[in-house]
Amino acid sequence: MLTATRLFDLAYLQQETAPGFPMFSYKKGTNWVAVSNTEFIEQVNQVSKGLIALGVQAGENVALISENRIEWNILDFAIQQIGAVVVAIYPNISESDYRYIFNHAEIKTCIVSSRKLYTKITSIKDSCPLLEHIFTLDKEADLPDWQLFVAAGASITDEQVQGLRNAVNTDSLASIIYTSGTTGNPKGVMLAHRNLLADTMSSEYSFPVERGDRALSFLPVCHAYERVFQYVYMYKGLTIFFAQSMDTIGEDFKSVRPHIFSAVPRVLEKVYEKIKAKGDQLTGLKRNIFFWSLRIGEQYTLENRSWWYDIRLSIARKLVFSKWREALGGDIKGIASGSAALQERLIRLYMAAGIPIYEGYGLTEAGPCIAVNCFKRGMKIGTVGLPLINIEIRLADDGEILTKGENNMIGYYKNEEATAEVLKDGWLYTGDIGQWVDGKFLKIIDRKKEMFKTSGGKYIVPQQLESKIAESSFIEQVMVIGESQKFPAALIVPSYVNLLEWGKQTVPALTELSKIEFLNSPEVKRQIESELDRINQNFGSWEQIKKFAIIPNEMTIETGELTPTLKMKRKVILQKYAKEVETIYNT
- Percent above pLDDT 90 for the chain: 56
Mean pLDDT over 210-234 rounds to: 92
Give the DSSP H or E segment for 54: helix 37-54
Residue in 465, 448, 464, 457 with CA at minimum distance from that of residue 483: 457
3-class DSSP state of 337: strand
Q: Where are the alpha helices (DSSP H) in 237-384?
A: 249-256, 265-280, 284-298, 307-316, 322-327, 344-352
Ramachandran quadrant class, 18 (left: phi over 0; alpha: psi -120 to 50; beta: rest): beta
Paired with 550 in beta bridges are 492
Every domain range in the chain assigned CATH 3.30.300.30: 452-586
- Residue 252 neighbours by CB under 8 Å, 6+ apart: 27, 216, 218, 241, 243, 244
Per DSSP bridges, beta strands 239-242 and 260-263 are: unpaired
Q: Would the pLDDT of 183 be above 70? A: no
Judged against a pLDDT cut of 90, whether residue 572 lies above it is answered with no
Query: What's the chain's Rg over C-alpha atoms?
Result: 25
Residue 8: predicted pLDDT: 96
Least confident of 207-216, 223-232, 286-295, 506-515: 506-515
pLDDT of residue 448: 66
With beta carbons less than 8 A apart as the criterion, state whether 585 and 489 touch.
yes
So what's the pLDDT on residue 181?
Answer: 58
- The mean per-residue pLDDT over the stretch 16-34 comes to 92
pLDDT at position 458 over 80: no
For 82, counting Cβ atoms within 10 Å of its Cβ (0-12 exposed, 13-18 middle, 19+ buried), the class is buried
Q: How confident is the model at residue 188 (pLDDT cuts 50, 70, 90)?
A: very high
pLDDT at 182: 52
In the chain, residues under CATH classification 3.40.50.12780 are 12-168
- Amino acid at residue number 520: N
Dihedral pair phi/psi, residue 381, rounded to 5°: -60, 135
> Residue 92: is its pLDDT beyond 90?
no
Mean of per-residue pLDDT scores for the chain: 90
What is each CA distance from 536 to 126, 188, 467, 580, in whole angstroms?
53, 40, 12, 21
Whether 434 and 397 have beta carbons less than 8 Å apart is answered as: no
Which one, of 477, 408, 398, 471, lies nearest residue 432 by Cα? 398
Q: Does domain 452-586 have CATH number 2.60.40.1120?
A: no
Q: Quick count: other Cβ atoms within 10 Å of Cβ 22?
A: 20
DSSP 210-275: -TT-EEEE-S-TTSHHHHHHHHHHHHHTPEEEEPS-GGGHHHHHHHH--SEEEE-HHHHHHHHHHH
Q: Provide the angle, in degrees to the nearest 10, between the axes of the packed helices 344-352 and 284-298.
A: 110
For 567, phi and psi rounded to 5 degrees?
A: -90, 145
Tell me how many degrees the CA angle 327-328-333 measures, rounded to the nearest 5: 140
pLDDT of residue 341: 75
C-alpha dihedral over 535, 537, 538, 544, to 10 degrees?
Answer: 80
Residue count of the chain, please give it: 587
CATH code of the domain occupying 12-168:
3.40.50.12780
Q: What are the C-alpha distances in Å from 356 to residues 125, 333, 538?
A: 47, 7, 27
Cα–Cα nearest to 466, from 479, 448, 481: 479
What is residue 212's predicted lDDT score, i.e. its pLDDT? Answer: 93
Lowest-pLDDT range of 119-128, 245-254, 487-496, 563-572: 563-572
The pLDDT of residue 1 is above 70:
no
Cα separation, 252 vs 244, in Å, equals 7
- Rounded to 5°, the CA angle 151-157-159 comes to 145
Distance CA 24, CA 214 (A): 10
Sign of CA dihedral 12, 77, 209, 38: negative
